[in-house]
Amino acid sequence: MNGPIFADNLVLQRNREVFLQQIKRDLGEYFSMMGIRDSEYYTLEDVLERVRVSNIRFNREAIRKVFQSINTTHNYKCSGKQLKEGYLKRRWELQTMLDTCSREFEALEQLRQQAENNLRRYENLGSRYADEEEESKLMIQIVSLELKDEISANVGYKIHLECQDQVIETQVRRYHEENKCVYWNELFSFDIEKGLGINSSYLEIMLFEDKNNVNLGGCSVLLEDLADQRKHEMKKEIYSNNESVSIGSLILSCQWLYSKHILYKSYVREFKQKRDQKIHDLNNYQNELSCLDDPFLPKPENSSLILYLSSIPDYIADRLDMFLTQNKINGSEVLFKYVIFISFLLQWIASSNRSLYLDSLTTCYIFWCNLGNDGLTSTRWTNNGFKFVLSSIIISLALDTIWMSIFFPAWSVPSEESDLRNFSKVFTFFNFVWKIILFFIIWKSRNDLLKYQQYDEILSRKNNKQTDLYFRS
C-alpha cells in the first residue's frame, strides 16, 4: 500500500483490516484461476509458469521469496494452501517490520535533532574554543574476572589501576564458585592531563592476590584507542608476569571524555548514519510490500510506454543502491568523495581535444553543493538542484553523441598526432560512460532526498499534533 507510514492509528488499523480481507478473498480467486488447489503440491517452476500464463500482476521475485520461506516436505514442493498461507504470512511480516522500522526511524530522528540542537547550542556559546579548559576524565568500570585455573575460595583478589602517576585499587573480592568469577562492578575515574603525551599514555591494570599481596599479572589499555570518546566494553586477557600465560579474562568498560564538541559531533554523525539506514530499510520493506499488494490494487488507467520508460531510471537506481549496500558503501559517500574526483579527472584528459564547459559547470555545481555537506539535510541540495544536474547531464550526453559521430571516423586517418588523438578518444568514451553512471547516482540521490522530505514532513505533522494536544490538555 502506498499510504502514509505515520497516520492515525485507528483509521489505519481499520483500513488494513478491510484491505486484508480483500486480499484473502482475491488471493483464493486468483489461485483458482491459475489452477492452484489447496490439496495439490507444486514446484517453484510450476508456480512461476502458472503466474506467467495467467497474466495476473504477481511479482515473480516476491513469489519466489514466499516459496523459499516455506518448509517444503514433498521433494521441494508445497501445497496451494501452504503457498497461500506463506503469502499472507510474508505480507504480515513485512507490515510488522515496516511499522517497527517506522517507530525506530521516528526515535532516531528525534535523537538526531536533539544532538544537533546540543551541538548548535555548544557552538553558539563558543565552547569549542575552550577545549583546553575542559575537564579530561577517564572513566573505568571494573566488572568481573574469569579465572582459568581452579583456585581456593578463601583467597581474595583486587585490581590495581595506574594512569599518569595516579593509583586506584578496587575492593578485595573472593572467588564465586557458582558464577565461576570474581565480581566487582566498581566505577572509577582518572584526571587526564592533555599535555603529558596522550598518544603514549597507558592505563595499567594489575591483578593482586590479597593474602600475600602478590602481583599475579596484568594488562594495559592505550588511551589513543579511546580517542572517539565512546564507551568501550572490552575483555582483556590477564597475563602472568613470569610465564606470559593468560591466567584469566577481565571484563571492563572504559570511556575517555575530553571534548564536548567532538563528542556532540560524533553523536550527530552516528544518528545521521542510523537514520539514513532506517530510511533505506523503510524503502526496501515498502517496495516488497507493494509488490505483494500490487495484484489486489486497482490497475492504473494510464499504463503506457512512457510510464514504463519513466520507471527505468528508478529500477537502475535501485540496483545501484543494492550494489552499494552489498559492498557496505554509503551512497552519499560515493557521491561526495568519488564522483567529483573521477569527473574532474576524466574531463581534464578528454578536454585535450575540445572544450567541456558544460561538464565542468555541472561538476563545479556538485562540488559547491557538497561544501559543508550535511547529507539529506543539506540546504544546498534541493529538488531543483538535482533536476538541473540531471538536465545538464542529458544535454551533455547528447552533445557527446553528436561530437563522437562526427570526429571519431576522422581519427582513423593516420597522422602525426594519431597517438594523442587515440588516447584522448578512449577517455572521451570513458567520460561518456561515466556520465551515464553519474546520471543514475544523482537520480538515486534525488529519490532519497524526496523520500526523506516525505518522512520528515510526516514526522513534523505528528509532532505538531502532539504539541497541540499537550497544550489543549
Per residue of the chain (473 residues), what is the pLDDT tens digit?
Answer: 444 444 445 555 666 677 778 788 888 888 888 888 888 888 888 888 888 888 888 888 888 888 888 876 667 788 888 888 888 888 888 888 988 888 888 888 888 888 888 888 877 775 545 545 566 888 888 888 888 766 555 678 888 888 888 888 888 888 877 667 888 888 888 888 766 555 457 888 888 887 778 888 888 888 888 877 778 888 888 888 776 788 888 889 888 887 777 778 778 888 888 887 888 888 888 888 888 888 887 765 555 555 555 566 666 666 666 666 555 555 555 555 667 777 777 777 777 666 777 888 888 877 777 665 555 555 677 778 888 888 888 888 888 888 777 776 655 555 555 555 566 667 777 888 888 888 877 887 777 777 777 766 666 665 665 555 544 55
Helix, strand, coil distribution of the chain in percent, nearest 5: 60, 15, 25
Cell 590477564 locates to 238
pLDDT at 291: 85
Burial class (CB in 10 A: 0-12, 13-18, 19+), 277: middle
pTM over 0.85: no
pLDDT, residue 417, reads 52
**Residue 7 pLDDT:** 42
Can you spell out the DSSP letters for 387-427? HHHHHHHHHHHHHHHHHHHHHTGGGGS--TTHHHHHHHHHH
- In Å, what is the CA distance from 389 to each residue of 396, 418, 430, 440, 452? 10, 34, 19, 11, 20
> Whole-angstrom distance between the N-terminal and C-terminal Cα of the chain?
34
Helices (H) and strands (E) counted in the chain, each on its own, are 12, 11
| Burial category of 105 from C-beta neighbours within 10 Å (exposed 0-12, middle 13-18, buried 19 and up) | buried
Q: What is the pLDDT of residue 145?
A: 87
Contact call for residues 291 and 2 (beta carbons, < 8 A): no
Dihedral over Cα of 414, 419, 421, 423: its sign? positive
| pLDDT, position 3 | 42
Domains in the chain, CATH or no CATH each: 9-105 (1.10.238), 135-258 (2.60.40.150), 300-472 (no CATH)
Determine the pLDDT at residue 6. 40
Backbone angles phi and psi of 37, in degrees to 5: -100, 155
Residue with cell 552499494: 324
Rg, C-alpha atoms of the chain: 31
Q: Which residues of 347-371 are buried (b: 16+ CB within 10 A; e: fewer)?
A: bebbbebeebeebeebbeebeebbe
Cα–Cα distance, 212 to 201 (Å, whole number): 30
pLDDT at 418: 53
What pLDDT does residue 363 have? 81
**Beta carbons of 454 and 388 less than 8 angstroms apart:** no
